[in-house]
Amino acid sequence: MGFTLWNDKIVKDDEVIIDKEDRGYQFGDGIYEVVKVYNGEMFTINEHIDRLYASAEKIRMSIPYSKEKLHQLLKELVEKNGLGTGIIYFQVSRGVAPRAHQFPEGDVKPVLIGYTRENPRPMENLEKGVKATFVEDIRWLRCDIKTLNLLGAVLAKQEAHEKGCYEAILHRHNTVTEGASTNVFGIKDGILYTHPANNLILKGITRDVVIACAEEINMPVKEIPFTTYEALKMDELFVTSTTSEITPVIEIDGKFINDGKVGEWTRKLQQQFETKIPKALHI
Ligand SMILES: *Cc1c(COP(=O)(O)O)cnc(C)c1O
């Protein structure tokens, strides 16, 4: 048993009580973040905290702690749980109130929950690459918010899972948007392509790190959409997220990318990414 962050306190896991009328539970009315911890150190924590507050603002919710306080609480949580390499999951719901769709009136405080999980880096996927499948993007039009409402992503990921694939590559009318829980990049003639960060995708922190990596190795980046047809014609393709890092995609719906081999540009980006990881260890 370990410790959970509950509002502004760190308590024992079994002390947490989730109310049946928590709006996160009933409506998915809330937001979340997943932060990677490498050897006890939180990676890009400020970016994640900034995005959480930005998501909160977009759903007209105000988090009743400062960013500094939240940072401190998360750091304490990692230490108390003795987390080495893994993740922190944390979410904020709009709070507890008698069930009604509209925002609760009066002094209803958002509910914060955070916990950690040991989770090794996905070394085999990073090395060998994974399979993916195209799935229609049926999500709403505010995919830029990291909301607890994940049904569209859940259904897409399940479809991928049933097909033996690691990820669902989502598309709207054949334009690739992103993965169910990742951002999608293609490489053609040495140029890196990814969907622009608008309302149709979640702007991944890892996406930003990868764009920075590309610039550092003098690789041109074009934030323009590509189609499912173009995706299959890319020289290389990969997906990114906090836990997936830079995961090469070597096959989509049975069709090989780069003859089913991880390409050289992807390797270079992975190496550049590696230099940014706190005290990187291969475990
Ligand atoms: C969280 C998420 C990502 C990846 O974001 P990171 O900050 O890199 O972990 C991509 N797409 C969706 C839909 C997500 O929810």
Mutate to test the pocket of ligand 1, among 182, 195, 203 (most ligand atoms within 8 A of CB): 182
CA 22 to centroid of chain Cα atoms: 24
Share of the chain above pLDDT 70, in %: 99
Q: Could you give the 3-state DSSP secondary structure of residue 187?
A: strand
Q: Which residues pair with 131 in a beta bridge?
A: 251
- Listed in sequence order, the DSSP H helices in 172-233 are 205-216, 228-233
- Measured distance CA(185)–CA(195) in Å, rounded: 8
In which band, very low, low, confident or very high, does the pLDDT at 281 lie, cut at 50, 70 and 90?
Answer: low
- Give the per-residue pLDDT at 283: 47
Would you tell me which CATH number, out of the four given (2.80.10.50, 3.40.50.720, 3.30.470.10, 3.90.930.12), belongs to the domain 3-118?
3.30.470.10
- Residue 280 in this model has a pLDDT that exceeds 80: no
CA 74 to centroid of chain Cα atoms: 18
- Residue 60 in this model has a pLDDT that exceeds 60: yes
Q: Whose CA is nearest to atom 3 of ligand 1?
A: 182
Cα of 12 to ligand 1 centre, how many Å?
Answer: 29
Mutate to test the pocket of ligand 1, among 91, 137, 181 (most ligand atoms within 8 A of CB): 181
Paired tokens of 159? 């479809």
- Give the per-residue pLDDT at 262: 98
Residues 6+ apart with CB under 8 A from 102: none
Backbone angles phi, psi at 31, to 5 degrees: -140, 165
- Burial-class residue 68 by CB neighbours within 10 Å (0-12, 13-18, 19+): exposed
Element at 74 (helix H, strand E): helix 67-80
- Measured distance CA(196)–CA(225) in Å, rounded: 7
- Residue 188 in this model has a pLDDT that exceeds 80: yes
Cα of 120 to ligand 1 centre, how many Å?
Answer: 18
Backbone angles phi, psi at 3, to 5 degrees: -120, 150
Sequence ranges of the chain with CATH classification 3.20.10.10: 123-274
- Measured distance CA(58)–CA(203) in Å, rounded: 14
80 touches 94 (CB < 8 A): no
- Give the per-residue pLDDT at 1: 83
Sequence ranges of the chain with CATH classification 3.30.470.10: 3-118
Cα of 1 to ligand 1 centre, how many Å?
Answer: 28
In which band, very low, low, confident or very high, does the pLDDT at 70 lie, cut at 50, 70 and 90?
Answer: very high
Share of the chain above pLDDT 90, in %: 98
- Give the per-residue pLDDT at 159: 98
- Return the closest-CA partner of residue 90 out of 120, 60, 69: 69
User: Which residue numbers are catalytic?
Assistant: 146
Instruction: Ligand 1, residue 48: give the atom nearest the CA.
Output: 7
232 touches 255 (CB < 8 A): yes
Fold topology of 123-274: D-amino Acid Aminotransferase; Chain A, domain 2 (3.20.10)
Mean pLDDT of 233-242: 98
Instruction: Ligand 1, residue 207: give the atom nearest the CA.
Output: 8
- Residue 82 in this model has a pLDDT that exceeds 90: yes
Please, what is the average pLDDT of the chain?
A: 97
Q: Pocket residues for ligand 1 (CB within 6 Å)?
A: 34, 146, 153, 178, 181-183, 202, 204-207, 240-242
Cα of 99 to ligand 1 centre, how many Å?
Answer: 29
Mean pLDDT of 3-12: 98
Start-to-end CA span in the chain (Å): 23
Paired tokens of 61? 């919710």
> Using one digit for the tens of pLDDT, what is the confidence trace for 124-164?
999 999 999 999 999 999 999 999 999 999 999 999 999 99
Beta strand spans in 137-223 (E): 167-172, 175-179, 183-188, 191-194, 221-222
pTM over cut 0.95: yes
162 touches 132 (CB < 8 A): no
